[in-house]
Structure 1
């Protein structure tokens, strides 16, 4: 299948052609996470709650990777659109090397603060051993997780979404095979418990790392062997980080807020935390179509922005927003109808089912507005306006989300807190849409 021409091909079919493979890839990634929580749930409530506590921390690393990937995609897409293949290869090579070294350093430092961090988040003393068993292994593979996501962003910058999708699917299949084998043991393989889930992830990420780097090197020549020059590496890193760092900070605010929300939910017991952890993973699965669209929209926006074709950018953005609102409402209806069956599948006990059913009946109503927010943020980053995207994230989480959730939880309890999630997303989505509209109006006036 030929790579689509993002500057000339019809907008809707082009985005559809790019988004469908990414949907497959993201489904694989979400199944990766759901497999972890499903098999760990079979170990009991305590390990399941421990895994829920790890989510804000692990998602922080994922958010860092997403930010770096956004910067990589925005810069590479523009260079590739301009026909500067050699410069794009130099930048991609230097960026991947710096990403690997940075995450390695972060992994070594953060491991020193695991106990106080999870204690601050509200983890009980009996949950800490499970948390530490999981995270001690998980940090070993974090460098491969982040580098893989940045490398996949480089592939998407070329308009290739099929290869990342296939790679993510392979990773998910390998993880689903290794999870039960390493968690429960079989034959000569001992049962590692919750550590086995982390081991399965690390092995899968390592295999993917080797494959993706090979593809970038052999197929696309985006990794090249060259003499390391400090000034060149720094300039490339600075270019990417002008977009990537604000985007990373924006994404890292989400797990930070998630940690605060987890601490609020912990007031209602370990069962509520376990249900909330399941909900967080179901949220990602429910948003997968729009998440895929948010990953294919930026290369389209960046290339057309660089070419001065702002009308194509406006059409693509508004079409994506309309689709997101309609699609996510249909997803909400499906989750509401099947909430009892879903709770039976993922809840380890009846005490977990209650809060999980409550979550399924309320929180997904706000997913459409949440999709508007991250589609708007991805568009702003692609337009090289990462600071505006970061301000929207701050406003959403720390002006709307956290205050509204805290007030609702303190005054009326867990159900009201879930309702506050929907209201917060609604308010933030309006601000996000208006912000993108203003930026596009300015860009249109400049190019007229």
Structure 2
């Protein structure tokens, strides 16, 4: 049998070809998040604060929908590989069903909890009002986001990743176009302010969902979403959720972290919350290429581990670390030299500009540490050590960063709160290096004995 290209193709070319489409898709989403916030910033600092406080809950919808998608993909791909077409179709149908259930749950319970969710992050009545209105629209029409993610995952699971990227690009560009029309009332559109940003978001998501549905019907020959005699199958649901729930929980960690730190920063005023929100929007342009490469290296290492190609594993690991460190170093330099220019895109007040410049410079010290942790996490996953990856990510995003931010906030000095990020990332990197040494001794070096 002819060997898969992951076993012989030059590593730089292979890693680039697999990682680049993933990274581009992520960068498209990052671009949307930045442009969306730039438009909202024209409404004022409190409007941007309201959207920033709603952001963790939007991430939560995303997390659970992606979790279902990951579980669906794992089960669907297994059945496709075994030539069980009917079971594969049922997996796709159940994935859609479960995503619609996720959307309904957020629409019902999310709208009930939105006043408390925003209120826990601020006491400002204007911000709470705008935040709740924005969030309620996102919750009520989350069917668009859940549906879009489901359609993208179906395309990815059947080897049609390029169509998945088209769906993402279509939705993001449409959102960017619609934002000013709904926010400022351009042409014959009503002027809706913050609500308009939410309307533009859910409208683009619903249309992107329909576009993805069309692509799966017309272009995806691997699955039949209209397969007859559909019935709810408990085993398929369990199979999807067994993989999907842990994935959803891990993705949700960052959402919880941002939510809790927003609540801590609220004591320093809306500008502090907005500064952190801007940081996350801007830093995504630095981090997304690394996450894309991280996703790309996992199947390469896993394949060569199974094939006994020890040298290729070391090669891809070294390349991934080098690229990540270079990208993060460039990002660090940009954040150190041009923080005021980065903040300037969001029409900041003098207070916000002052806070944001300090925040961007301090938090960006974490970039180099994060590069090592993120790539290490991907390597752990490729060897089936999901627990090690989970520990590193929990340390990075929750276990240390939130308590440190809380303790530093008690000094009453906002600058100290930003230090929680590089300190937590440094700890995570040291743990990742320790784990990496063990994986090298117990997994990689032993590959020679199996060759």
Do Structure 1 and Structure 2 share a fold, with TM-score over 0.5?
A: yes
SS for the counterpart of 1:127 is helix
Against the structure 1 CA distance between its residues 301 and 155, is the aligned structure 2 distance closer, same or farther, given a 3 Å change threshold? Answer: farther
SS in 1 for 2:142: helix
| Kept after mapping to 1: 8 A contact 2:88/2:223 | no
Query: Contact 2:395–2:424 (CA<8 Å) still a contact in 1?
Result: no
User: How far apart in 2 are the matches of 1:78 and 1:378?
Assistant: 22
Measured against aligned partners, the alpha-carbon deviations of 1:379-421 in whole angstroms (never above 9, x if no partner) come to: 5455554444333333334432112222223236222221221
Larger relative contact order, structure 1 or 2 (CA cutoff 8 Å, min sep 6): 1
C-alpha separation in 2, matches of 1:28 and 1:433: 31
Whole-Å separation in 2 of the counterparts to 1:291 and 1:106: 27
How does 1:335-346 map onto structure 2 within 5 Å?
335-346=335-346
Aligned to 1:112: 112
Query: How many angstroms apart in 1 are the aligned matches of 2:294 and 2:142?
Result: 23
User: In structure 2, how many angstroms separate the alpha carbons of the residues matched to 1:380 and 1:103?
Assistant: 32
Aligned residues: 442
Alpha-carbon separation, structure 1, partners of 2:24 and 2:39:
22
Q: Deviations over 1:159-213 (max 9, x none)?
A: 5443222222222211111000010112321101111111111111112112223
Q: Distance in 1 between matches of 2:324 and 2:55?
A: 25
Deviation track 1:220-249 (CA, whole Å, cap 9, x = no partner) reads 334323332433xx3233333333211211
Matches within 5 A, 1:5-404: 5-6=5-6, 9-74=9-74, 82=81, 84=83, 86=85, 88-224=88-224, 225-226=226-227, 227-231=229-233, 234-300=234-300, 315-381=315-381, 383-404=383-404
Root-mean-square deviation (CA), in Å? 2.9
What runs of 5+ residues in structure 1 fail to find an aligned partner?
A: none
Give distance in 2, aligned partners of 1:329 and 1:239.
41
TM-score, length-scaled by structure 2: 0.87
SS at match of 1:121: coil
**What SS class does the counterpart of residue 43 from structure 1 fall into?**
coil
- Cα 1:241/1:58, change in 2 over 3 Å: same
- Structure 2 residue matching 1:191: 3-state secondary structure: coil
Q: What is the CA distance between 1:66 and its match in structure 2?
A: 3.6
- Indicate conservation of the 8 Å contact 1:93/1:222, yes or no: no
TM score, norm. by length of structure 1: 0.88
Equivalent residues of 1:250, 1:389 under 8 A apart: no
Larger radius of gyration, structure 1 or 2?
A: 2
SS at match of 1:348: coil
In the alignment, structure 2 segments of 5+ residues that lack a partner are: none
How far apart are residue 430 of structure 1 and its match? 3.0
Structure 1's 171 and 307: CA in aligned 2 closer, same or farther, altered over 3 A?
A: farther
